[in-house]
């Protein structure tokens, strides 16, 4: 077992995108890392030449046995876990009406229930340390539901609510919870990794159908840089008081702030109706 002062990062979904670039940054700093993917062969290169501080593991977050084994391997090797990055997941697009049950459930298993299960497995480690950071990669879709992204947005809204409660429970124990909320980034999310159910109902052609087409066409040209996103994730773990929410990318920032302002204005406009729902006060 290796013991030193370098932080130990446990990152899921390291074969592509945010997970891959973040893993490269962590390894480049000489820190310790547990890098995982469903197919270990896709992350073995990350550990090559640095086997004393990089542990490559197979991990499908929908498999409870693999979660237990990977957390045990991490603690057996490094003795601790300082940062958990819940990055594994993918996008599914369809209109709500045309959503396919098996695809919806598979996405929830990966994006939501897998994240929940891995977090539960790591919490005892961080709780005993009285320290740690949990970075949950959500999305702008955790604030805004776009056409064709209803089911994906539902998974990210679920993770946002989960993270709020987790922060309230684990914060007093020295565990920081940060939601990372990217807008469009140049990863495989909108390309190879994206699952879509084609739009066949004409009534949705101008909403869900149009967004299905636009998402595919823009893949590979998004403004967001995954390397810069990884650097931002590292920075927040080095802060004494990190933010609960970190929106990444100009498009994402504008979308989230605009939606929150609209939501607050609507709630304020209905203030009297809201307050009037209580029993009359004596």
- On the 0-12 / 13-18 / 19+ scale of CB atoms within 10 A, 207 is middle
Q: Which DSSP category does 123 fall into?
A: H
Per the CB < 8 A criterion, the answer to whether 22 and 11 are in contact is yes
Cα–Cα distance list, 88 to 35, 44, 112, 130, 264 (Å): 11, 17, 10, 25, 32
Catalytic residue among 90, 152, 253, 279: 152
Q: Does 90 participate in catalysis according to the annotation?
A: no
Do 110 and 35 contact (CB within 8 A), yes or no?
no
Give me the torsion for CA of 58, 194, 140, 244, rounded to 10°. 0
Give every strand in the sheet of 8-11, ordered side by side: 54-58, 32-37, 8-11, 83-86, 132-137, 175-182, 245-248
- Give yes or no for a contact between 75 and 9, defined as CB atoms under 8 angstroms apart: no
User: Which residues belong to the active site?
Assistant: 152
């Amino acid at each position: 077992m290796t013991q030193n002062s370098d932080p130990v990062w446990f990152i899921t979904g390291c074969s592509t995108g945010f997970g891959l670039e973040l893993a490269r940054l962590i390894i480049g700093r000489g820190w310790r890392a547990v890098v995982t993917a469903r197919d270990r062969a896709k992350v073995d290169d990350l550990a090559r030449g640095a086997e004393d501080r990089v542990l490559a593991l197979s991990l499908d977050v929908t498999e409870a046995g693999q979660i237990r084994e990977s957390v045990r391997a991490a603690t057996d090797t490094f003795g601790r876990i300082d940062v958990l990055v819940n990055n594994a997941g993918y996008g599914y697009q369809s209109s709500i009406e045309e959503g396919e049950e098996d695809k919806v459930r598979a996405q929830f298993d990966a994006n939501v229930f897998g994240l929940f299960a891995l977090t539960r497995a790591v919490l005892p480690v961080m709780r005993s340390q009285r320290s740690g950071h949990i970075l949950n990669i959500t999305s702008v879709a955790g604030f805004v539901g776009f056409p064709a992204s209803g089911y994906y947005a539902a998974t990210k809204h679920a993770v946002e609510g989960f993270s709020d409660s987790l922060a309230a429970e684990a914060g007093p124990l020295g565990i920081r919870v940060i939601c990372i909320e990217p807008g469009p980034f140049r990863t495989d999310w909108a390309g190879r990794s994206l699952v879509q159910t084609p739009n066949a109902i004409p009534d949705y052609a101008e909403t869900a159908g149009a967004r299905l087409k636009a998402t595919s066409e823009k893949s590979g040209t998004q403004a967001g840089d995954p390397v810069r996103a990884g650097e931002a994730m590292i920075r927040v773990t080095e802060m004494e008081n990190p933010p609960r929410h970190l929106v990444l990318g100009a498009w994402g920032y504008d979308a989230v702030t605009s939606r929150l302002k609209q939501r607050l204005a609507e709630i304020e406009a209905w203030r009297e109706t809201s307050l009037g729902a209580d029993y009359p006060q004596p």
